[in-house]
Structure 1
C-alpha cells in the first residue's frame, strides 16, 4: 500500500508488517464506510475501523491512489470550532463507475453509477419490451456501452434489475409475468454474455428489482441506519417486497424470499395470476388504483405514471380519494401481517405505495398499528423511499460489491 512501510525493505520488522496487513484488511471496510456516507472524515474512519490514526491515514491514501475516494487535507473549519479539522473523505467525483440496467413492464433503462450511489449518466427510458429477453438485454447493454464510450469512465462491472424472482445459484428469472418472457430464463447468463461481448470488463450480476431497491435505500436512502429494514413497493405492475437484516439483503435459501405480492388482503377480490384471489399483487398496484377509480387505463403512458398522476392531480375528487383509501387499507393490512412476522425497525415504501403514503400517511399508519401486535406496542416508522431510480442504484451495488469486499483485488 502506498504510504505504508514495505516489509520487504531493509529495516522493516514485524510491527511494520502487521500494520501493512491491518491496513490492507481495512481497505474494503473503509471504502464501504465512505461509500455509504458513514465516514465523512478521517477521524470518524479511525474510530469506526478501530485502528490507529496512522493506519487510517494510510488506508485513505491508498483508496485515493486507487482513484476511489478524495481526501481533503485542508478542509475549512466550521464557524466557532477550535483546533484543526479532520481530513474530509468523499467518493472521487471522476472515479470508476458500474453499469446498471433495469427492465420493467413498460420499458428499460441503462445508467452509470459511481460510488456513493451517485448516478453519473443515464439513457432515456425505452418504452418497448420485446418478448425475447436476449433482444431487450442486448439493447440495454448497447445503451450502457454507449454511455461508457461517451464518458470514458472505467467500469468495475454490471448489474441488472428485473421484475421477477431471480433463483440462485443459476440466475433464472422464474416469474417475469408482466414481461411476457418465458419462465426460467437464464437472465444472468444472457446479461453476462452480452456485457462481455460488448467489451465491458468486470463481473455481471442480476437480481430482483425490489430487492435491489431495498439494498440501495438501505445504503444511501430512507433505509440508512436501520438494522431490520422491510421494503414494499409496486412499480409498473404487481407488488414486491424485500428485507435487509443486519445490513445484508435477505434472499432466502435460493433467492426467492419475500414474495409479498401473494399475501391475501381481500379474500373476495380479483383473481391473481398465481391462481389465488385478492392478493396484494392485484389489489394494490397501479392497475388496481385506476380500476377502483373507475378509469380505463390508457395505452400511451405507463400504468405507474397514470396512477401517480391521478394521486397528484385529482386526489380531491371523491372517486379518486375513495379508490386511494381502499388501496391504503389493503396495503396496511398486508404491511401489518409482515410487521407481525418480521418485526422490522423500519418500513419503507416505493413506487405507487410511496404516493399512497404521501396522500394519507395517518390512515396507513393507523391501519398498520391497529392490525399489528408490534404496531400497538410501539409504532414502526413507515417512510417513503427517497432515491430516484433506486432499483438502478441497487443493480450498481451488485457490481460494486466485489470492489467493496477487496478493492485491490477487484481493481487489479
Structure 2
C-alpha cells in the first residue's frame, strides 16, 4: 500500500515539476499540440494530459478538445494547445528619449492593450515612471484581467543587483537613478499586485525576439538595435539573457567603428552609438531633424521614401559599412549562430542586405566559410513584450507557486 502511495506521489510531483517547462513550451509556440508537448517534455501521454489540464485549470492555457492533426500525419490526431486569451496579463512599460508607452501583455507575447503614450520625458525619473504606471493601472482597470507583475524597459544599462540606470545618456535622468526601486514603489502604490522588474530596452527586445520573433530557435542570439537615439546590443544564450556579472554586458554601442568620427558620450570617438543611430543618418544625409516626430520615424521614413536620392543612399551606405564593421567584431568575439537587427538597423538591412552581409563576411574571421544569418527583428514593440517577459518569468518557473 505504501509503495502505491509513494508511486502516486512521485507521479504527481513529476507532473507538477513539468508545469513550468510545459507552460514555456506553449508560451513560445513550441508545443501547439498535446502530442508535441508529450514529446518535448519526455513524459507519458497521461502525464502530459494531466499537466495540460492543470495549466488550463489555472486559467493559463486552452486545450481544444476537438483534435486536429497536421497534413500527412498518421495516427490519432492530438488536442491543440494555445494560451488563453482571457487569461492573466503582465504590465509592461517602456521609456525612451521621445516618450513612453504602457501595455498589457498576455502569454505568448500577445499585446492585449496599449496606451497612447507620452512624448515628453522630464529630468525627474520618479515623475515619468509614476505617469507610466498610472497609464498601466488604467489599462488594467479597464481590462478587468488579473495581473501577474510588471516590467519596465529603460534606455540604459541597468546595474545588478541594485537596479540602477547607470547611463541614461539620451534622457536627462541622473546617472545611477534607482529606477527599479522607483518603479516597484509606484506599482505598489497603484495597488497593482505582483513583482516589479526593470531592464535595459535592447536586452528585453532580444529576449522577446528569442521567444516570439526572429530569434526563435537560436542558441546564441546576438541582437543589435538603434531606437530613437544610441545603439544597444544583447546576447541570449540557450534561452537566457547574458547580462554579465553585474548586468552590464554587451554595451556594443561603444565599439569604435570610425576612429576619426564623432565624439561619443562615453569619452571616445567614432562609436557605433554616434555613428549608426538615427541622428547620425539624418546628419549624413544632410537633413535637419524636425521637432514634430521622433528621430527614429524621421530617419526610417527618409530611408524608405527617398532612397533614390543620392545623398540619402550614400548616407545609408556609410552607416551600413560602419554597422558591418561593428557586427564583424562582435561575430569574431561572440560566435553567434544568428544576428537580428532592430530599429533603424533593421531598415538599413532591408535597404541593402547584400552590402551589410558582405561587410560582415569580409571582416569576420569565419565569414567566408560559414556566414552568420543576419535577420530583421519581427516584433512590433519588442521592448514592451520583453519587459512583460520579466514579469512572466516567475510564472513560467513555477505556475502554481506564482499564482497561488
Into which bin does the TM-score normalised by the smaller protein fall? over 0.9
- Structure 1: how far apart are the matches of 2:36 and 2:74? 17
Query: Aligned match of 2:13 in 21, 26, 46?
Result: 21
Aligned partner of 2:278 in structure 1 is 286
Query: Aligned match of 2:35 in 31, 40, 43?
Result: 43
**TM-score w.r.t. length of structure 2:** 0.98
Q: Deviations over 1:12-58 (max 9, x none)?
A: 52211110010010000000000001111111111111111111100
Q: Does 2:96 match 1:104?
A: yes
- Structure 1: how far apart are the matches of 2:277 and 2:80? 44
**Is the 8 Å Cα contact of residues 68 and 79 (structure 2) preserved in structure 1?**
no
Aligned partner of 1:3 in structure 2 is none
Aligned partner of 2:364 in structure 1 is 372
Tell me the CA shift for residue 207 of structure 1.
0.2
Query: Aligned match of 1:163 in 151, 155, 159?
Result: 155
Alpha-carbon distance change, 322 to 230 in structure 1, aligned in 2, over 3 angstroms: same
Query: Aligned match of 2:256 in 250, 255, 264?
Result: 264
Q: Deviations over 1:251-277 (max 9, x none)?
A: 000000000000000001001111111
Query: Aligned match of 1:248 in 215, 237, 240?
Result: 240
Query: Aligned match of 2:53 in 47, 57, 61?
Result: 61
Aligned residues: 404
Query: Aligned match of 2:187 in 180, 195, 198?
Result: 195
Query: Aligned match of 1:129 in 105, 109, 121?
Result: 121
Tell me the CA shift for residue 82 of structure 1.
4.6
Q: Does 2:223 match 1:239?
A: no
Aligned partner of 1:391 in structure 2 is 383
Query: Aligned match of 2:210 in 200, 218, 223?
Result: 218
Query: Aligned match of 1:348 in 340, 344, 349?
Result: 340
Q: Which range is displaced more, 71-80 or 136-145?
A: 71-80
- Structure 1: how far apart are the matches of 2:70 and 2:375? 31
Tell me the CA shift for residue 81 of structure 1.
5.0
- Structure 1: how far apart are the matches of 2:73 and 2:326? 49
Tell me the CA shift for residue 84 of structure 1.
2.5
Tell me the CA shift for residue 408 of structure 1.
0.3
- Where 1:362 maps in the other structure, the secondary structure is helix
- Structure 2: how far apart are the matches of 1:77 and 1:395? 34
- Where 1:156 maps in the other structure, the secondary structure is strand
Tell me the CA shift for residue 377 of structure 1.
1.7
Tell me the CA shift for residue 134 of structure 1.
0.5
- Runs of 4 or more, structure 1, over 3 Å off, are 76-83
- Where 2:66 maps in the other structure, the secondary structure is coil
- Structure 1: how far apart are the matches of 2:284 and 2:229? 15
Aligned partner of 2:318 in structure 1 is 326
Aligned partner of 1:4 in structure 2 is none
Tell me the CA shift for residue 130 of structure 1.
1.1
- Where 1:119 maps in the other structure, the secondary structure is strand
Q: Which range is displaced more, 324-333 or 73-82?
A: 73-82
Q: Does 2:77 match 1:85?
A: yes
Tell me the CA shift for residue 247 of structure 1.
1.3
- Structure 2: how far apart are the matches of 1:113 and 1:207? 16
Tell me the CA shift for residue 77 of structure 1.
4.4
- Structure 2: how far apart are the matches of 1:51 and 1:294? 62
Structure 2 residue ranges without an equivalent (≥5): none
Alpha-carbon distance change, 376 to 80 in structure 1, aligned in 2, over 3 angstroms: closer
Q: Does 2:290 match 1:298?
A: yes
**Is the 8 Å Cα contact of residues 68 and 80 (structure 2) preserved in structure 1?**
no
Q: Does 2:173 match 1:173?
A: no
Tell me the CA shift for residue 125 of structure 1.
2.5
- Structure 1: how far apart are the matches of 2:227 and 2:73? 47
**TM-score w.r.t. length of structure 1:** 0.96
Structure 1 residue ranges without an equivalent (≥5): 1-6
**Is the 8 Å Cα contact of residues 343 and 374 (structure 1) preserved in structure 2?**
no
**Is the 8 Å Cα contact of residues 113 and 139 (structure 2) preserved in structure 1?**
yes
Q: Does 2:31 match 1:33?
A: no
- Structure 1: how far apart are the matches of 2:214 and 2:366? 21
- Structure 1: how far apart are the matches of 2:142 and 2:218? 37
- Structure 1: how far apart are the matches of 2:107 and 2:134? 22
Tell me the CA shift for residue 246 of structure 1.
1.4
- Structure 2: how far apart are the matches of 1:178 and 1:309? 21
- Structure 1: how far apart are the matches of 2:73 and 2:30? 21
